[in-house]
Each structure stands twice: as C-alpha cells, then as structure tokens.
Structure 1
Amino acid sequence: MISELEARVCRKLMLRIIPFVMLLYFISFLDRVNVGFAAMTMNKAIGLSPAAFGLGGGLFFIGYFLFEVPSNLILHKVGARKWIARVMVSWGIVSAASAFVVGPNSFYALRFILGVAEAGFFPGIILYLSLWFPSRQRAVAAAWFMAAAPISTAIGSPLSGAIMKLPPMWGLADWQMLYIIEAVPAIILGFVVLKYMTDTPSKAHWLQPEERAWLIAKLTTEADAKQSHAGHTAGALSALRDPRVLALALIYFGTSAGLYTLGLWAPLIIRQYGFGSFETGLLAGVPSILAVIAMIVWAKHSDRTEERTWHVVIPCVVACLGFVFAGGATSALMIILSLVVVNIGISAAKAPLWAMPSMFLSGAGAAAGIAMINSVGNLGGFVGPFAIGWLKDVTGGYSAGLYVVGATLAVSAVVTLLLSRQSKQTPVAAGERHGH
C-alpha cells in the first residue's frame, strides 16, 4: 500500500519534472524531423535526390552515435542542469543554421553536426528520471516523457505544414523559415533549464524536508539492493560489454528505424496522394494522437502487471504488420490506417523497453549503458530512412523500403523473446524482466 507521504512526493515529482522534460523533448523531436516538411521544397531548391535526402536525414544518427556515450558520461560528472542546457542551445543554433544549406554536401554536414549537438539529450533525461523516480513509478514517468515524440508529431506536423505555406520573408524561402522559427524555442529553453532544473533530490528545495528525506532514503535503499545483486553492473566499461545492453540496443534499433522512417518520410509518402502542405501535416499528425494514448495505457499495464517482455514483443509485431500493410497500400486511406498501426506499435514498445536497463545498471554503468542502448539503437534512425530513399531510387516506389523497415521490427520482437529466454536461466534477469 502506498503511504500518503509517498503518494505526495510522487505527485510533486510528476508535476514538477515530467511536463518540463516533455516540453524539452517536444522541441527536440520537432527540430529533428522537421526536415521531412522542409524537403517538400528544399530538395528541389538545393538539388537533393531521394537517396541523398535519405542519406542526409540518416547522417544525424551517425553524429549522435559517435558522441552519445561521452556526452552522457559528462552529464553524469557535471550534472544534468548544465549539460542539458548546453545541449539545447547548441542544437538550436545548428538547427537554425540548416536554413542556409546550399547543396548535398552542406546538408550532410549540418545533419551530422546536429546529431553531435543533440547527443546525450534523450539518454541524459532517461538517466535523470532514474535519479528521481522510485522504480515502481519509473516506466510511467518514462512513458509520459517519451509521449512528447508522438505529441510533437501530432502538433508539430500541422504547425510545420502551416509554416510551409507562409509567403517568403526577408529573402528566405518557406523551408528556410521553417528551420529558423522552430529552432528559436530550443535556444530559449536552454537558458530556462539553467534556472528551472534541479540536479539531485538533495537540492530539491521545492520538496518539504520530510518529503526530501523520504525520497533520498527510498532511492538509496533501492540502489543498495540493486548493488548487492549478482547481475548488477555499475562500471562504465562493464556496462558497454554487458550482453543485455547490446541486446536491448538491437531491440531499440528496430523501433528507431520505424519511428524515424515515419518522421522523415511520412509527409512525402502522404503527399504523393495529392494533398497540400497543411493537409499533409494534419494527416501525418492524426496517427500520433492515438499513439500517445496507447503508449500511456500500455506502460501503466506493464507497470501494474510487472511484465516487460510481451509488452515489447506485441507492439513490435503490430508495427511490423503496419509497415507491411503500408507497403501494399493502394489508397490514401490505406496509408493513413497503416501509419496509425505503425505509430501505436512503435510508441507502445518504448516505455516497457526503457524500464529494463535501470533494473541492472547504476552510476557510471547506467550513464554508459543507457547511452549505448540509445546510440546503437538510434542507428536504426539512419538505416530506416536511408533504405527508403535508396530503394525508392532503385524501384521507383516506397514499398520495398517499407518492407525492410518492417523486417527490423520483426527482428526486435525475436531478440526480446531470446533475451527473455536467456533471462529465465539466471535469477537476476528474471527479476529485471518482471521489474523487481
């Protein structure tokens, strides 16, 4: 039974931390995928072929991959407040600079640098949540945070579509205006982070003394219990070599391939049916609203039943089938319905998946392991969009690429089951799988 004090502390954490980190991720995701809308006129203006656009879109993740683990280890050292502020201001500046690309090479360079600038943000926030939320609340906290990605698509898609309809101003084309307008909030919020974010519970003056004492004691007890466990990993190098970390990275790879294929290509896939910019934005946003609902409901069910494996497997299979349907779609309605299925599957898989690492990682091990899962997993964000662009150049259509991305999600489902089977052979992993 949850005590009145515990309920009060968790409510304060949810209200103080979650809306703010959701806002940060909303802006992050908007700046990451608005290239899909800019492409409507940018590709022709600077001479990008579908393959070149897919390559540039994916190069973001190469920069992200190379700098993710170092960035999260720096965050672990200097604290979330300073490092997240640095990340936001630098990615805002780079995102605004994307308005001034003049051809394929400058497009590739800016996408790579954007990945470097933003590296560490997502795993940094996942690590940050693990420093504040007791394990019983962690999956739902992560689900609310990650819900900002589909919310960003739901609100950001029509917004980006509307900006693309603005008349040219100050000698800037519509796609240039899009980059600049959507980069400004990131820079402003970087400075807000310095004022608003609190590094650790011991510095949380917005909690009452007894609330602060209870939270610190609870998190310390959980950390001590975890460290006494045989399968616990606290060192950065040990975490990077842990086969469970590599398995989770491979599972995340499929979900990332699916997510960023949607973010970068959905506007262009929808637009081929003759919709205008704003209508395309609305239609790209609709599936995301349903995805947010599915994400929260599924995470709560995963926490309540203390089950993780099937809460990852089932959504991955659903998303895989969605891509197969999308590949065979012959009408706008079929595409939209397929995208709804894909969105729901990908979003629902994420929170149960991210509830797994903090069960066996802590300290520098958690910083390195979470960053490793995210950086390797996010290479799916390179492979998915690039495969779509390259195969569209080769075949003249989107179907082959959509089937390839669907296959990566099938692999995610299989690896999750294999990890679960391996887990049952050792007591620690069974505990992880069930969230103990």
Structure 2
Amino acid sequence: MTIETSTETSTGTSPARIESAAHDAHDAALARACRKAAWRIIPLVTIAYFFANLDRVNLSFAKLQMQEALKFSDVTYGIGAGLFAWGALLFQMPASLAVSRLGARRYLFLALVAWGTISALTMFTSSIASFYSLRFLLGVAEIGFFPAIVLYFSRWFPAERQSRIMSMFFLAMPLSVVFGGPLTGLIMDRFDAVAGLGGWQWAFLLEGVPAVLLGFAMLSIRERHADAPWLTQAEKQALDYALTQSTPTQAKRKISRAADALRHPLLWIFVTICFCFNLGNFGLMFWLPTLVHQASQGSNMHTALLAAIPYALGALAMVVNGFSAPREGVRLRSGLPALVGGAALAASVLVSSSVWASLILTSIAVAGGMATLSMFWSLPGRVFSDSAVATCAGMINMAAGLAFFSGPVVMGVLKQWTGGVSTGIVMLAASLSLAGLLLLLLPRRLIQDV
C-alpha cells in the first residue's frame, strides 16, 4: 500500500487526476472547436441575415419617396409591408420540411438567391398589384432562412453556448438599421433621377444583388462538424459529446419527435411569446423612420441617422445580455428587457413633442427588445432535439411572420383612424410588455435546467 501510494504521488496518475486531466482536455478541445466554428460560420450567416433584414426594412426608408411616387395610402403601404408575412405563413411548414430534407447549406443557397432577386425586382413596382405580389413572394423566399439557421446552429453549438451565438447572429437585425438605414438614405439622395430611376428604385436594386452573391458563398459551409476538415479529431469528438452525450438528463427531457413537439403546450407558449414580442418589434421598426422624419423634418439621410441611434444601442444591449451569463438566469434575461422596453415605449407617447426625449425612450425600448431577442431564440434548442427543432422553429417563426404583417398594418389603420400615432405606439408597447411577462412566468426548470 505504501509503495502504491508513493507511485501515485510521484507519477500523478491517480484516477481522480486522470479524470480531471481528461475533463480539462475535453473542455479545451470543445472551446477550440466552438471558437473555430464561430469564426468560420458566424460572420457569413450574420452578413446574410443583415441583407435579409435590409431587404425587409429598406421598404420603411424607401417609403419616404416610394409612397409619394406611387400615390400609395398609409393603409396600402401597411398592407404591402405586411404581405411579406402571408407568404411566410402559407409556406412556413413546406419550407421547414424542405430545410429538413435539403439540409441547411443547400436551402440557404436557394433562399438567398431567390430573395435577393425578388428584392431587386421590387424596383419595378408600378401598381398596388405588383407591390403586393412582390412582397408576398419575398416572404415565400425568406421564410425558411431562420429555421435553417436554428437547425444549423443546433448541429454546431451546445445549448449552453446558444445565447452567445444567437446574440452575435442577431446583431444583423439592429445593424441593418444602424448601417442599412443610412445606406438606403444615401442611395435615395445620391441616386435619385440617375438613369431615369428614383432613388428608392436604386435602393432595392443595390441592396438586393448582394444577397444573390451571398447565396453562392453559402455553398462553402459544412453541414455538420463531422465534415469539417479544419477541426481536429479531438475537437470533433469533444463537440459531438457536448451535442449528444454530455448531459444525458437533458437529452432525456428533450422532445425528439416533431409530432410530439406540435402537441406540447410549451411550443404554443413560445408561439404566443414570439407573436407578442414581434408585434411590438416589427411595428416599431417599420414606422420609426416615418415618426423620426415627421418630428425632425430632416433629409432622408438625416432621418436614417437619427433612426439608427436606437438600434445602435440595441446592438450593444444584445451583446451584453447574450454574453453576460449564458448558463444562468435565462428567464430573467429574456423577460425583463422586454418588460422594461415596453414601459419605455409607452412613456415615449407622453414626451412626443420633444424629439430627443422620445428618441431616448424609444432607444430604451429597442434595446430591451434586442436584448430579449437572442435569449428567446436560444430556448427552442433547450427543449427540442435536432430532429424536431427545425419544425418547431418554423412554427414559432410563423408567429413572427403573422406579427410582421399585423404590426405595420395595425399601425397604419390606427394612424389613419385617429389621425396620430399615439394609440398605435401604446398598442405596440403593451404587446412587447406582455411578451416579457410571459417569459418571466415560464417554468424555472425549463429555462435553466432543461
């Protein structure tokens, strides 16, 4: 016994030390694998999502010229802005099935090429019918993009890292306003009447073409980590273990069959939260440039720069919230920002006569919404397994599509009915606050332990 003890002490090969060393080696290999994957995947898909959002929201800036040129009413504009959602709603499930069948890589290629082409063709809008048709088709083209991304991330990053990854990915949304808004305003001001085209037409063309090019770039990504030549065997094994075997209790709790997931009440709670959150988020995103323009009476470029301020702060809030504690407090970090954001948005109505006061409160509202966004979309991967997550993400995303339609339309109707925007802003604030409250009321075990 004395000899054995001496041998263990001198060689340091006790079972406990061996297990500790193996655990440390696993953690190091997993960290390297996730870091490599993040550097190779996140920039490309984030840029793609940037243009996806830009192709959606550039309509809110193009409206400043487009509505006058085509003589569209606020209701017509609101319906056209939201018809994107009807294409999404009708084709969400076929798109989700196509994602599962084709894989994320091939589907992302097809989606980017299709929506970039359709967005560019919006420059030829000349009537209400063509406007509505192109917006509907854009929704059909884009709707499978997000479920494909959720599925793709679930194959590359463990659940406890999802909030960080999502926060980096979702940076594309506020940045599409921070940079895309001024870019659209600049194009509209500088290219107006060039070659006989309006500035808004040039904006659709020049911002649609990059999506097509990014579609071909998507063919360079790997579908699964096992196929990545830039990962070592140890890194692949560590990532595979983290994704499938490291937490057997969690794996047992996850819902693996799509049919079971569709019957599970948690899915429909997520759907409700997603609708409420996005009703406030998209409604504000589409109407913010108009509200800022009416208050400041500035140029298109000046309006875009002012409207970018809330989303710059939103991008910062998203990163801070996503990186602060990816393993703990997910419920609080999901619900509280939306609740605070809704209260700030409601308060902005009381100071609407002051451009800067209302802009500060709107910035808090946008920051709250953006901080919630990445945390919320890390939840499906905690509850649903790889085989069910694409279908569930598609169902949840349908609620976002419905809100995408409802927010701008309701704002347009209320503005035309009341002659102002205060009623619509309060409605958006209430919806955002309700989403935050529902997130705070989610079962603690589900959010932190699943």
The answer as to 2:39 corresponding to 1:15 is yes
Match of 2:263 in 1: 241
Structure 2 counterpart of 1:338, which letter?
L
Match of 2:272 in 1: 250
Match of 1:293 in 2: 316
Q: Which has the larger radius of gyration?
A: 2
The answer as to 2:341 corresponding to 1:327 is no
Match of 1:202 in 2: 226
Structure 2 counterpart of 1:361, which letter?
F
Cα deviation, residue 356, structure 1: 1.4
Q: Given the superposition, is the C-alpha separation of residues 318 and 378 from structure 1 closer, same or farther in structure 2, using an over 3 Å criterion? A: farther
**What pairs up with 1:40-79 in 2 under 5 angstroms?**
40-79=64-103
Q: Distance in 2 between matches of 1:197 and 1:159?
A: 28
Match of 1:98 in 2: 122
Structure 2 counterpart of 1:218, which letter?
A
- Is the contact made by 1:47 and 1:103 (CA closer than 8 Å) also made in structure 2? no
Structure 1 counterpart of 2:134, which letter?
L
Match of 2:180 in 1: 156
The answer as to 2:53 corresponding to 1:29 is yes
Structure 1, unaligned runs of 5 or more: 425-429
**What pairs up with 1:349-364 in 2 under 5 angstroms?**
349-364=372-387
Match of 1:184 in 2: 209
Q: How many residues get paired?
A: 423
Q: Distance in 2 between matches of 1:39 and 1:377?
A: 22
- Is the contact made by 2:166 and 2:377 (CA closer than 8 Å) also made in structure 1? yes
Cα deviation, residue 10, structure 1: 1.7
Q: Distance in 1 between matches of 2:413 and 2:449?
A: 41
Match of 2:131 in 1: 107
- Is the contact made by 1:126 and 1:142 (CA closer than 8 Å) also made in structure 2? no
Q: Distance in 2 between matches of 1:414 and 1:153?
A: 27
- Is the contact made by 2:83 and 2:405 (CA closer than 8 Å) also made in structure 1? yes
- Is the contact made by 1:85 and 1:191 (CA closer than 8 Å) also made in structure 2? yes
Match of 1:395 in 2: 418
Aligned-residue Cα RMSD (Å) equals 1.7
Cα deviation, residue 362, structure 1: 1.3
Structure 1 counterpart of 2:383, which letter?
F
Match of 1:263 in 2: 285
Q: Distance in 1 between matches of 2:249 and 2:35?
A: 24
Structure 2 counterpart of 1:110, which letter?
L
Q: Which moved more, 1:324-333 or 1:51-60?
A: 324-333
Structure 1 counterpart of 2:92, which letter?
E
Cα deviation, residue 153, structure 1: 1.0
Q: Which moved more, 1:400-409 or 1:164-173?
A: 164-173
- Is the contact made by 1:307 and 1:435 (CA closer than 8 Å) also made in structure 2? no
Structure 2 counterpart of 1:193, which letter?
M
**What pairs up with 1:311-390 in 2 under 5 angstroms?**
311-328=333-350, 329-390=352-413
Cα deviation, residue 28, structure 1: 0.6
Structure 1 counterpart of 2:201, which letter?
Q
Match of 1:175 in 2: 200
Q: Distance in 2 between matches of 1:302 and 1:371?
A: 27
Q: Which moved more, 1:180-189 or 1:356-365?
A: 356-365
Q: Distance in 1 between matches of 2:392 and 2:149?
A: 14
Q: Given the superposition, is the C-alpha separation of residues 19 and 386 from structure 1 closer, same or farther in structure 2, using an over 3 Å criterion? A: same
Q: Distance in 1 between matches of 2:92 and 2:249?
A: 28
Q: Given the superposition, is the C-alpha separation of residues 243 and 302 from structure 1 closer, same or farther in structure 2, using an over 3 Å criterion? A: farther
Normalised by the length of structure 2, the TM-score is 0.90
- Is the contact made by 1:356 and 1:435 (CA closer than 8 Å) also made in structure 2? no
Cα deviation, residue 435, structure 1: 4.7
Q: Given the superposition, is the C-alpha separation of residues 100 and 288 from structure 1 closer, same or farther in structure 2, using an over 3 Å criterion? A: same
Q: Distance in 2 between matches of 1:113 and 1:46?
A: 20
Cα deviation, residue 205, structure 1: 0.9
Cα deviation, residue 288, structure 1: 1.2
Q: Distance in 1 between matches of 2:29 and 2:95?
A: 35
- Percent identity over the alignment? 34
Q: Distance in 2 between matches of 1:19 and 1:28?
A: 14
Structure 1 counterpart SS, 2:196? coil
> Which digits, 9 at most, give the CA deviation of each residue in 1:6-33, with x for residues without a partner?
2211211121111111111111100110
Q: Distance in 2 between matches of 1:307 and 1:374?
A: 24
The answer as to 2:437 corresponding to 1:414 is yes
Structure 2 counterpart SS, 1:198? coil
Structure 2 counterpart of 1:205, which letter?
P
Structure 2 counterpart of 1:381, which letter?
F
- Is the contact made by 2:188 and 2:300 (CA closer than 8 Å) also made in structure 1? yes
Q: Distance in 2 between matches of 1:67 and 1:98?
A: 20
Structure 1 counterpart SS, 2:371? helix
- Is the contact made by 2:339 and 2:434 (CA closer than 8 Å) also made in structure 1? no
Cα deviation, residue 222, structure 1: 4.7
- Is the contact made by 1:69 and 1:367 (CA closer than 8 Å) also made in structure 2? no
Structure 2 counterpart SS, 1:379? helix
Structure 2 counterpart of 1:181, which letter?
L
Normalised by the length of structure 1, the TM-score is 0.93
Cα deviation, residue 159, structure 1: 0.6
Cα deviation, residue 89, structure 1: 0.3
> Which digits, 9 at most, give the CA deviation of each residue in 1:336-391, with x for residues without a partner?
11221111010011122112111121133111111111111332221111111111
Q: Which moved more, 1:357-366 or 1:178-187?
A: 357-366
- Is the contact made by 1:355 and 1:435 (CA closer than 8 Å) also made in structure 2? no
